[in-house]
Structure 1
Amino acid sequence: METRSTARSRRCSNTYNFKSGLTLWLVVWLVLVKPSPVQSCPRLCVCYPSPMTVSCQSQNFTSVPAGVPYDSQRVFLQNNRITELRVDSFGFETQVLWLYSNNITWIEAGAFSELRELEELDLGDNPYLQRLEGGAFRGLEKLQSLHMHRCKLAVLPHDIFHKLYSLQFLYLQENQLHFLQDDLFSDLVNLSQLFLHGNRIRTLSENVFRGLVNLDRLLLHDNRIRQVNRKAFRDLGRLTILYLFNNSLEELPGQVMRDTSSIQFLRLNGNPWSCGCEARQLWEWFRKSRVSSSEIVCTSPSPKRGQDLRFLREMDFALCPLPDPGSLAGTTTTTFSTKTRWWFSKHKPVSSSKGIFSKSTETIKAFPFSAVKPYNPSTSSTSFSAKYEIGEEEAALPKLDPEEYWANYGSEDAASVRCFELECPPESPPLPPSSSASRSSPSSLLLLLPLSLVPASLHQLFG
């Protein structure tokens, strides 16, 4: 009897120990292993673990709800009635924040500054968000995607994208932007795609896209663009897709397209293209490039109306002067250097007519400039005398008075000025006008040097 009783006691003890161990293990598993039930999920919201997601969409919230878990990774607040975003609106961290389709009217500067890990921010479809304060996105140095489409934004502060070095996708389409400030995107060195279509932009200035060295896609269609500065795309060497259709472009400088050396898809249709001499540079670029392009239908002049600019013949531009690379929009503006101005002042024919000049410290631009054949440096030196005789074509050039020439003299170093086309003086140039002896050439000074020694010699001989 004792043996059976002892055995039964041992079995009961082992069973009790096993159950105790199992219970202890279950407690540890519930505490440490099993995800704890989301008790801090905001009211009317749904929360999901792994990754921690808080979905509060379409619940008529007028502000960011309290109680969002601090370690959230995705927070969805779209389709509510949120009106303001303040510095204290976000008491949590997240990588994805959706706030589209709300009634946001104001974003306080630094409102997102505590969301240091934020990678995607969607503020699209907020029709009352008509302006932004500078510094609204301060602190979002890890932000990769920013959506602000259909917000009726009329202007962007110059520092709105300051220090957003990680941004890759920027959606600004279908707003009411009239212009873009210089260097607006200068900090976005990693931006890959920029969507600006459906706005009211009229011009693209020289420095509007400066800094976008990694931009791959630029959408500018459905705007009101009339003018593109010839240096506007100078940093866009990696651009592969460019949409400029449905704008008001009549011409496009050839330099603009030459700067986009990696372009593959180009859409320029839906513009009132002028296919006169101003289109020659763009036509030449199409002859050399291999790009998928839309049609470019000419609207003027009347003989070319309805034709495709890309398929015009060289004889269509036979009567056009060579375009000047320094002009803003590919027109035939000519820039005169010091040597050229000196030559024109020396050989000016008798005439009272003058060109319209815009003076600067470097150059003088004359408008308009008639057709002149460029100087060919391969010709022999014996042709200089014939070249610099005033002919009918050269007589039609804008005239320059000596005082206009000397007023701009001294801003260029003669030793560093390159001789280019009409800037080359004759091999034996005549002396400059006698009215300015202080500006005589070195050779004339050498000729006058022996004469200056004569009085000194006579003084030594006769006391």
Structure 2
Amino acid sequence: MDRPADRVQLLLLLVQLALMLSRLGEACPRPCSCQQPGEVHCTFRSLMAIPAGLPRQVERMNLGFNSIRRITDSSLAGLRKLELLMIHGNDIHNIPDGAFRDLNSLQMLKLSYNKLHELGREALHGLWSLTRLHLDHNRLEVLHPDTFQGLTGLRLLQLEGNRLQQLHPHTFCTFSLLGHFPLSTLRHLHLADNALHTLPHALLQAAPHLETLTLHGNPWTCDCQLSWFRAWSQRSPGEYSHPQVSTVMTR
């Protein structure tokens, strides 16, 4: 056996190993922790923006409790394997159209406790695998009627603690049957502690799979426009109550 050749081969292997370790180190943004493969944890790091150089293979990322003020259309580009994203407890005011366009694998998005005041028509475009969306405790006043269109996997939507005053009948529809009959795939919808005075009848008619609906903490106007609700709740299996006195309505 040629001993010098063996030494050269060993040296090459050591160089390759060093390069691999170097790449692994660079794959984790410096302010964050990446103790598990596919995970990036950046909580309580006083971040002002989403870190650059995020690994493309990341599957779970927690950016909670920082000072992130905005998400740009390139902040999350290329993260096609991301399944869980938590950006709660930050200072985000708006989401540009297309910011989530590459997050086709994302199943849970938590944007609770930010300062969002509206969601545009294309703000959630690309989140085709999303099942849980947490938007509670923001400053949302307006939701475009097509905001959730295309999110056919969406099952839970949390909107409590916002400033919603009115809702379009098709606000929570996620797809249209034959292009003419808007329907929602939601099973759990939380609208408590907003500024709602009434609910469109068509809003619940378009959600045949709804199991849980929370409405407490809204300044309901219990007039003829809301008279349909009692009859609807009596026809629906399970326990429902009038929104003026209810805390949780579950079927």
The alignment's TM-score, normalised by the length of structure 1, stands at 0.44
Q: Is the 8 A contact 1:133 1:157 kept in 2?
A: yes
Displacement after TM superposition at 1:70 (Å): 3.1
Displacement after TM superposition at 1:237 (Å): 2.9
Q: Is the 8 A contact 1:112 1:137 kept in 2?
A: no
Q: Is the 8 A contact 1:250 1:271 kept in 2?
A: yes
| CA deviation vs aligned residue, 1:183-224 (integer Å, no higher than 9, x gap) | 221311110100000001112221111111111111000111
Match of 1:240 in 2: 187
2:87 to 148, 160, 164: 148
Match of 2:179 in 1: none
2:204 to 257, 273, 278: 257
| CA deviation vs aligned residue, 1:267-312 (integer Å, no higher than 9, x gap) | 1011111111111333333232235556621xxxxxxxxx66xxxx
Displacement after TM superposition at 1:107 (Å): 3.8
The CA distance in 2 between the partners of 1:207 and 1:264, in whole Å, is: 22
Tell me the SS of whatever aligns to 2:226.
helix
**Matched ranges for 1:36-435 at <5 A:** 69-71=22-24, 94-107=37-50, 111-112=52-53, 115-127=55-67, 129-235=68-174, 237-291=184-238, 293=240, 296-297=243-244
- The 3 A distance-change label for structure 1 pair 78 and 266 is farther
- The 3 A distance-change label for structure 1 pair 77 and 122 is farther
Unaligned runs of 5+ in 1: 1-30, 41-66, 81-89, 298-306, 309-463
AA aligned to 1:117 is: Q
AA aligned to 2:23 is: Y
Q: Is the 8 A contact 1:197 1:223 kept in 2?
A: yes
- The 3 A distance-change label for structure 1 pair 96 and 187 is same
Aligned length: 223
| CA deviation vs aligned residue, 1:357-404 (integer Å, no higher than 9, x gap) | xxxxxxxxxxxxxxxxxxxxxxxxxxxxxxxxxxxxxxxxxxxxxxxx
Unaligned runs of 5+ in 2: 1-9, 175-182, 247-251
The CA distance in 1 between the partners of 2:241 and 2:89, in whole Å, is: 27
AA aligned to 1:287 is: Q
Match of 1:407 in 2: none
The CA distance in 1 between the partners of 2:192 and 2:173, in whole Å, is: 20
AA aligned to 2:171 is: A
AA aligned to 2:61 is: L
- The 3 A distance-change label for structure 1 pair 150 and 71 is same
- The 3 A distance-change label for structure 1 pair 294 and 203 is farther
Deviating beyond 4 angstroms after TM superposition, the runs of 4 or more aligned structure 1 residues are: 74-80, 291-295
The alignment's TM-score, normalised by the length of structure 2, stands at 0.78
- The 3 A distance-change label for structure 1 pair 138 and 289 is same
Q: Is the 8 A contact 2:98 2:126 kept in 1?
A: no
Displacement after TM superposition at 1:71 (Å): 4.4
Tell me the SS of whatever aligns to 1:137.
coil
Displacement after TM superposition at 1:264 (Å): 0.8
Displacement after TM superposition at 1:99 (Å): 1.1
Displacement after TM superposition at 1:106 (Å): 2.9
Displacement after TM superposition at 1:133 (Å): 1.5
AA aligned to 1:187 is: G
| CA deviation vs aligned residue, 1:130-185 (integer Å, no higher than 9, x gap) | 11221210000111011110111011111111121100000000000111111221
Q: Rg: which structure is higher?
A: 1
- The 3 A distance-change label for structure 1 pair 79 and 188 is closer
Q: Is the 8 A contact 1:264 1:292 kept in 2?
A: no
| CA deviation vs aligned residue, 1:36-70 (integer Å, no higher than 9, x gap) | 9xx97xxxxxxxxxxxxxxxxxxxxxxxxxx9653
Instruction: Identify the structure with bigger relative contact order (alpha carbons < 8 Å, sequence gap 6+).
Output: 2
- The 3 A distance-change label for structure 1 pair 104 and 209 is same
Tell me the SS of whatever aligns to 2:23.
coil
The CA distance in 2 between the partners of 1:253 and 1:273, in whole Å, is: 13
Q: Is the 8 A contact 1:112 1:140 kept in 2?
A: no
Tell me the SS of whatever aligns to 1:274.
coil
- The 3 A distance-change label for structure 1 pair 247 and 134 is same
- More helix, by proportion: 1
The CA distance in 1 between the partners of 2:75 and 2:231, in whole Å, is: 45
AA aligned to 2:197 is: E
Match of 2:6 in 1: none
Q: Is the 8 A contact 1:112 1:139 kept in 2?
A: no
Q: How big is the alpha-carbon RMSD for the aligned residues of Structure 1 and Structure 2?
A: 3.2
Displacement after TM superposition at 1:77 (Å): 6.8
Tell me the SS of whatever aligns to 1:257.
helix
AA aligned to 2:58 is: L
